Amino acid sequence: MTYDRLVCANCAAPVSEGRCPVCRANRERLQQENPFAGLNPMTLIALLAILIAAVALLAHQTA
């Protein structure tokens, strides 16, 4: 989700510009709602590899 077009109710400017404290608070809150925003691609790939290995291990044990 993007907040580029979100307009602030306080100053009527785009929230992404952070012109007033309300804008900045909303911007921080929206950024925190995406837990993957702070992760870099290598971390995601590593997590995915661990997940695939765990699933493969479980499938091997039950089969």
Binding site for Zn ion (CB under 5 A): 8, 10-11, 20, 22-23
Q: Minimum distance from CB of 32 to Zn ion (Å)?
A: 18
Choice between 17 and 39, CB closer to Zn ion: 17
Choice between 32 and 43, CB closer to Zn ion: 32
What the block records as the tokens of 38 is 């702070």
Please give the full DSSP string across 18-63, using - where no structure is assigned: --SHHHHHHHHHHHHT-TTTT--HHHHHHHHHHHHHHHHHHHHHH-
Q: Minimum distance from CB of 28 to Zn ion (Å)?
A: 13
What the block records as the tokens of 31 is 């950024």
Choice between 10 and 43, CB closer to Zn ion: 10
